Amino acid sequence: MSQDPMLYGGWRRSRTLGIGHLNGAQTAVVVVSLIVPIIVLNTAGLGTLPVTVPLALVIMALTVWQRHGTPLLSFLAARLRWQWATMRGETSFRGQFLASPQALDLPGVVAPTKLLRVQDTTGREPVGLVWNQRTGHMTASLLLSPAGSLLAPSDAQNGSAAAWGETLARLADEETLMGAAVTIQVRPSSGQALSDHIVERVDPNAPAAARRAVRELVARAPRASAQLAAWLTLTVDPSRSTAQKPKNPAEAAAETLRVLDGVDLSGAGADIVRRATDLDVMRLVRGAYAPADMDAPQEHVAELTWHEAGPVAAEDGWTVYRHDGSHSVSWVLREAPRKPVPYDVLLKLLAPGTFARRITLAYRVLPTEEAAAVVEREVNASDARAEYRRRTQRSTTRRERVDAAHAERSATEEALGAGLVQWSVYVTTTVENPDDLPAAIREVEKAAKLSGGLRFRYAYGAQAAAFAVGLPVGINPLA
């Protein structure tokens, strides 16, 4: 007999010590804004009050008020930084004008990366590793085949969710692992590919009735379908290995392959197709910047160099990223669901739509020692806020009570051996016709609203970076 579907929840946003709903940095700004006018008053006299007091009040208001879940002061600072970068031309990329082949690279945060073709001693297919020459991190990917679970019994669904949790917990034992990300890419297709795929495989010696049945199924199949690709990306810092420090890129690559081959997804709802080769990585990156090249013949992909996988030209706008004639918009998770949700909470976002979409779940699995320190710090911060409310005789809101209960439960579960994971979700939609962009944005926002309480916001001023998070190149903001 199948079990009832389990519900998952208890997520909370990490919070440091602070006054009320403010974090540590915001509290520091408010305190400094209160102290500075007093110091100036004592040193320069009463004549400074008309200047210092209004300025302090403005700064405190900008710190306390929020926009899209971000303090207004931080939001304005980010806007000014982006505006300054735009004036200096740092948000524009023109690959064709670079001086020499040695200077050719990808734009923005992926500029320091280099694609390596690595062959291990097992004799299997070569593996494509993305080496970040600035940080020394190496990134490898596994191509996945997600298993459908809509028709699976509840106990199988619960088992898959538990198996994925165990997989993340095992990653905490990898001392060199910096971050992980699972990406699902859904692209609309004409349906002709299905017809061609089946026609090429029909055995001419098969019974006539079987051939007629196959032809009828193909004729009645929907003319519009979707192509789905999924991959798991692991970012490794080989220098963190305590067993043996790598002395060169070859030893660093060997450490990365060791971590990659240690991943076990048994029962987690997805099968590992193979380790991503250099051509697989090249195709995924090039297909993201130029969607028309996603289905390019293998020999054409093999002729590309790493810098050619990126765009020829790109413009990083405040809410839109333009690259090689295509337009992309990215969102980042603002708030996790407050109520418990079923396993299929992301189903609406993952369902095929009219436009191409890429959904990435980014993870950072905390080591055991760090996880213990984090949960204790969260509990201490919650206790400090409760003490502040007691001293100021302010009543506790229900949200504050729930948040404190979640902090206590997380600490208890960690003490009993559970792992601690920091995570976020990034969504990107891409269109080739700019006139389709409003419809694509509405499609994503509608799917997000139906996704069980997940709240997203635009990646303001960071569209190119959020776009790169969904690529198998090791850009993980949590790592």
The Cα–Cα gap between 369 and 240 comes to 15
Q: What is the value of pTM for the model shown?
A: 0.85
Q: Cβ(52)–Cβ(37) under 8 Å?
A: yes
- DSSP conformation letters of 153-205: -HHHHHHHHHHHHHHHHHHTT-TTEEEEEEEEEEEEE-SHHHHHHHHTT--TT
The Cα–Cα gap between 55 and 422 comes to 37
Residues making up the chain, counted from first to last:
479
Q: What is the mean pLDDT of the chain?
A: 84
Q: What digits encode the pLDDT tens for the residues 13-27?
A: 776 666 666 666 777
Q: What digits encode the pLDDT tens for the residues 193-223?
A: 566 667 777 888 888 888 888 888 777 665 5
CA distances from 432 to 56, 152, 321, 322 (A): 47, 37, 12, 10
Mean pLDDT for the stretch of residues 400-423: 80
Tokens of 347: 């189903």
All residues at 6 or more sequence positions from 68 whose CB lies less than 8 Å from its CB, including other chains: 75, 334, 457, 458, 460
323-337, 349-363, 407-421, 428-442: which range is least confident on average?
407-421
Q: Cβ(443)–Cβ(353) under 8 Å?
A: yes
Amino acid, res. 415:
A
Among left, alpha and beta (phi > 0; psi -120 to 50; other), residue 232 is: beta
Start-to-end CA span in the chain (Å): 42
